Structure 1
Amino acid sequence: MQVVRTVAEVRAALVALRAGLGAVGFVPTMGALHEGHLSLVRAAKEGCGSVIVSIFVNPTQFGPNEDFAKYPRTFEADCALLEAEGVDLVFAPQVEEMYPQGAATFVEVEGLSDRLDGASRPGHFRGVATVVAKLFHIVQPTRAYFGQKDAAQVAVLRRMVRELHFPLELVACATVREADGLAMSSRNRYLSVEERKQALVLKRALDAIAALQAAGERDAAALRAAGLRVIEAEPAAKLDYLKLVHPLTLEDVARTEGETLVAVAAWIGSTRLIDNVVLGDRV
């Protein structure tokens, strides 16, 4: 497994990879890898001849009071995991490589970037879209793999790929959960033992909504109210949002007649967690 740090190095390595192995699978990450990331790597290996993983904690997607400085960085352990999975190339640039001094070019998906996490974290999706566009341009993958846990991010990037005509397929893979149902996240390591238990309220709220919908309820307000009752029963949880939206536009829906994304974000202590479930058959 090669580890490269510069754009020139990754492009040189790609020439050799593409020469004999066909499709290139790409998994962008910020490191602090867990089983959710590794499931994306395995999906990429199944569908592609070679797999590239990027590890880059992207400063432009963090707000001024967010956790950029303390975001977990476990590079050596990450590389060991990726090598064990048979990854061909790790691209781990420095900030200066991705954002040269004086960089003033950004990508923003207007409208969509202001919904869900974008409403709570102004500028977040501009940072995400910018760095992913840069990575797509550098790596030029055949397919790029993302986790469904970050459903709003997936929606933003799908539109960016379509509107900027990136010649790649964006693949969203199912959320990977701990045995008790907590969605895997690099930020879970911030949680204390007690907070770890309290964090399960997000999944319980989603389960309550899904159960009520399965029983025949289609009114979004009634479904949301059922989830809110679950959240409100956990004093440690501070709700950011609980919304029922269209999975592609992220616009609120009044009824769950078609495919509907139920997305939740809440703070448990000082840690902000997200989760979601999709109601209805996938289209």
Structure 2
Amino acid sequence: MKIISSPLELKEQLKEVHKTVGFIPTMGALHEGHISLIKKAKEQNEFVVVSVFLNPTQFLKDEDLDKYPKKDEADKKICELSGVDILFLPSADVMYGEDEVALLAPKVRGYVLEGFSRPSHFNGVLTVVMKLLNIVNPTRAYFGKKDAQQLNLISLMVKQLFMDVEIVPVDTVREKDGLALSSRNAYLTPSHREEALKIPSSLRTASAMVSKGVLDSKEITSKMREVLAPLEIFYVEILDREFNQISHVEIGNTVILVEVKVGTTRLLDNIWL
């Protein structure tokens, strides 16, 4: 496995790779969820690149940029053992200049759900993903379904900007107790982790209601909020896969999304129906 920190060096290296390239952009603190992305990329491509870059532009003032888990040595070992061909480890000063071209999230889809409470967050997400995709120029790029809004916006960006890359969604990986894997789970105390289990429980409740024929969105989200109490809820929403609100669940075209605060940690999750 090669470790490269220069965007220009990486571009030069990849010019010599006449193979299909799978790419997984991450912010580090890698876990089984990231490993599932790498496995999928290896299944579908001949060459795999992973980036680890803690992107400052997607964090708002007073958010957890300085506290975000950093595990560079562990990340290197995980990538090596997972069969990654190149690990890209850039610094902020090579990724950003002083007078940056602005890339803005859509005015509607970029400012609802997580974007409502974190305005400009998705500007930073789309900017860094655009930069990384331009550097790597992969055949396919892999993103987890857990960050459904992020996945939707990246897919929209690729479509609207006519980018030549396939965006591949990968199913959420969960702990044995049902909690979705996230680097931010490291922030949870044992008691907070117990509270966090209300998140998958609320989604299981929604799924069970749908399986019994209850499709009314208000009825389902109301019951989910009961399960989540007394956690601070940012949103509980039922949307179609284009992120439009729908009054009733549409099987095969629905995402049920939750974001809450557990202690001081924001956690999000969803199910696709």
Q: State the TM bucket, normalised to the shorter chain.
A: over 0.9
SS at match of 2:146: helix
- Say what the alpha-carbon RMSD is for the aligned residues: 1.0
Task: For 2:154 and 2:107, locate their aligned partners in 1 and report how far apart those are by CA, in whole Å.
Answer: 12
2:244 paired with 1:251 = yes
8 Å CA contact 1:109, 1:129 repeated in 2 = no
2:148 paired with 1:151 = yes
Unaligned runs of 5+ residues in structure 1 are none
2:210 paired with 1:213 = yes
Task: For 1:277 and 1:108, locate their aligned partners in 2 and report how far apart those are by CA, in whole Å.
Answer: 24
* CA displacement at 1:102 relative to structure 2: 2.4
Q: In the alignment, residue 111 of structure 1 is paired with which amino acid?
A: V
2:110 alignment partner in structure 1: 113
8 Å CA contact 2:31, 2:183 repeated in 1 = yes
Query: Which residue of the other structure, out of 34, 38, 59, is the alignment partner of 1:37?
Result: 34
SS at match of 2:106: coil
1:128 alignment partner in structure 2: 125
Residue deviations 1:122-165 (CA, integer Å, cap 9, x gap): 11111101100111111100000000000010110110000001
1:241 alignment partner in structure 2: 235
2:49 alignment partner in structure 1: 52
Moved more, 45-54 or 250-259: 250-259
1:12 alignment partner in structure 2: 12
* CA displacement at 1:100 relative to structure 2: 1.3
Unaligned runs of 5+ residues in structure 2 are none
8 Å CA contact 2:146, 2:172 repeated in 1 = yes
* CA displacement at 1:104 relative to structure 2: 3.7
* 1:225-236 matched pairs, under 5 angstroms: 225-232=222-229, 235=230
Q: In the alignment, residue 146 of structure 1 is paired with which amino acid?
A: F
Task: For 2:101 and 2:158, locate their aligned partners in 1 and report how far apart those are by CA, in whole Å.
Answer: 21
Task: For 2:105 and 2:217, locate their aligned partners in 1 and report how far apart those are by CA, in whole Å.
Answer: 29
8 Å CA contact 1:267, 1:273 repeated in 2 = yes
SS at match of 2:168: strand
Task: For 1:238 and 1:107, locate their aligned partners in 2 and report how far apart those are by CA, in whole Å.
Answer: 29
Residue deviations 1:213-240 (CA, integer Å, cap 9, x gap): 11001111111111011012xx3x2111
TM-score of the pair, normalised by structure 2: 0.97
SS at match of 2:84: coil
* CA displacement at 1:105 relative to structure 2: 2.6
Report percent identity of matched pairs.
41
The number of residues matched between the two structures is 272
8 Å CA contact 1:151, 1:247 repeated in 2 = no
SS at match of 2:147: helix
Q: In the alignment, residue 12 of structure 2 is paired with which amino acid?
A: A
Task: For 2:121 and 2:146, locate their aligned partners in 1 and report how far apart those are by CA, in whole Å.
Answer: 16
8 Å CA contact 2:240, 2:250 repeated in 1 = no
1:198 alignment partner in structure 2: 195
Moved more, 112-121 or 156-165: 112-121
TM-score of the pair, normalised by structure 1: 0.94
Task: For 1:183 and 1:125, locate their aligned partners in 2 and report how far apart those are by CA, in whole Å.
Answer: 21
Superposed structure 1 runs of 4+ greater than 3 Å apart:
none
